[in-house]
Amino acid sequence: MNLYLESLRQMLGAEPRRPAKEDFSEEARQAHAFKKTPQERERRRKLIAEELAEKHVSYKWRKWRWPSIILINLLFVISYHFDVQLVEGALTASRFVGFHMADLNSALQVTLAFKKMLINLVIGTATVFILWWLVGGRSFCAWACPYHLLSEWVEILHLKLAEKGWAKDYQLHRGVRTVLYVVFAALAFITGYTVFEWISPVGITSRALIYGTMGGMVWVAILLLIELFFIRRFWCRYMCPIGMTYAFVGSVSPTTIHYDLSKCLHEGECRSVCLVPHVLEVTVKGRATRPQIDIGADCTRCAMCLEACPTGALSFRIKGLDKLL
């Protein structure tokens, strides 16, 4: 089973599948066999009990992520209100010190709607493409998107309400996002309008922060209420085509979340905090087909799994650079 193609399959909405026997490398077979020995099972049982009893989540990456989202969006606000002209526009399309930048999904929508590629759009798209390719995965979501930050705060409240039985987490099929991706692309091409931009909570939130256009925030509030009481991470996990666009770009990035089978206790803490837990299917006992695996394309690089993992089985990795250090 090709790990890259499997990660794309899952990104498009397919459920993770159990690997066949022939998919496992010899090293992975040996690692799984070793973990089944009585001595290793007992050692792991004790380690899990000790690690979880002493576990303290540092949230060190969150301390970088949240300020990153706030700072990026604050630059737009300050530039507009104080006429600094450092960053002009909004997240969907902007100029940074005069250099054009364009959100990849917005650029796709504009191109399909107008049936031509403008030179400024080419420059802006190429710049953003390279930037988010370097950092990998759906990093835009976890490190720059203003709606993501709101949704993450609402998720914290959702979990507290769920503990009291006041909220539910109904599951949708993740393939809905793929269908919507195609639908919005088709609508842009057929109608000549960027239909998705009318309902995108990312663009609406960005423009509300910068220009004070609050009308669209009613729609954003409705989405957040759905996430608070009914469907955890409703928009980001099941609906948003923006994340899928960046996932395609970041799927071949040199920057990844890296999994080390030998260090994993399979206690599941990483999956319990992951924003897109299907990408961590390899951490389920008996699922990893290689002793070293890079986490798939749909990963947001939020690093919450790194903070939750008690043994360091998950880590950031830059391909090639790790061999030089």
Judgement on whether residues 99 and 236 belong to the same structural domain of the protein: yes
Higher pLDDT among residues 186 and 312, named by residue: 186
More confident residue, 228 or 45: 228
Checking if the pLDDT of 46 tops 60, the result is yes
Give, in order, the Cα–Cα distances in Å from 48 to each of 2, 42, 63, 307. 31, 10, 26, 16
**Per mean pLDDT, which of 43-52, 96-105, 218-227 is the most reliable?**
218-227
Pairing of strands 292-294, 99-102: unpaired
Residue at which a domain ends, from 231, 248, 265: 248
pLDDT in tens, 50-81: 666 666 666 788 999 999 999 999 999 999 99
Q: What is the pLDDT of residue 324?
A: 39
Do 127 and 98 lie in a common domain? yes
Q: Are residues 10 and 78 in the same domain?
A: no
> pLDDT by residue (tens digit) across 119-169?
878 888 888 889 888 888 789 999 999 999 999 999 999 999 999 999 999
What average pLDDT does this structure show over 278-306? 92
pLDDT value at residue 95: 84
100 and 180 co-located in one domain: yes
pLDDT digits (tens, 9 = 90+) for 171-228: 999 999 999 999 999 999 999 999 999 999 999 999 999 998 888 999 999 999 999 9
Domain boundary among 248, 270, 294: 248
Q: Which two tokens stand for residue 258?
A: 């890296």
The answer on 225 and 100 residing in a single domain is yes
Same domain, 227 and 109: yes
27 near 288, Cβ under 8 Å? no
The total of structural domains in the chain comes to: 2
Q: Are residues 128 and 227 in the same domain?
A: yes
Question: Is the model's pLDDT at 1 over the cut of 70?
Answer: no
* Whether the predicted pLDDT of 45 surpasses 80: no
User: How far does CA 117 lie from the centroid of its chain?
Assistant: 28
Same domain, 161 and 114: yes
pTM for the whole thing? 0.90
**Could you tell me the strand order of the sheet in which 93-96 lies?**
87-90, 93-96, 99-102
Per-residue pLDDT tens over the stretch 230-259: 999 999 999 999 988 998 888 888 999 999
- Domain match, 132 and 72 both: yes
What confidence score (pLDDT) does residue 322 get? 61
What distance in Å separates the CA atoms of residue 155 and residue 159, rounded to the nearest whole number? 6
pLDDT at site 41: 79
What is the pLDDT confidence band of residue 325, given thresholds at 50, 70 and 90?
very low
pLDDT at 55: 61
Mean pLDDT, residues 90-118 taken together? 86
pLDDT at 232: 92
Read off the pLDDT band of 3 (50, 70, 90).
Answer: confident
Same domain (yes/no): 208, 80: yes
Q: Is the pLDDT of residue 6 over 70?
A: yes
Identify whether residues 168 and 298 lie together within a single domain.
no
Q: Which of 205, 222, 248 is the last residue of a domain?
A: 248
Whole-number pLDDT of residue 47: 74
**What is the domain range of residue 259?**
3-56+254-324
CB 279 within 8 A of CB 15: no
3-state helix/strand/coil string of the chain: CCHHHHHHHHHCCCCCCCCCHHHCCHHHHHHHHHHCCHHHHHHHHHHHHHHHHHCCCCCCCHHHHHHHHHHHHHHHHHHHHCCCCCEEEECCEEEECCEEEECHHHHHHHHHHHCCCCHHHHHHHHHHHHHHHHHCCCHHHHHCCHHHHHHHHHHHHHHHHHHCCCCCCCCCCCHHHHHHHHHHHHHHHHHCCCHHHHHCHHHHHHHHHHHCCCCCHHHHHHHHHHHHHCCCCHHHHHCCHHHHHHHHHHCCCCEEEEEEHHHCCCCCHHHHHCCCHHHHHHHCCCCCCCCEEECCCCCCCCCHHHHHCCCCCEEEEECCHHHHC
189 with 125, same domain? Answer: yes
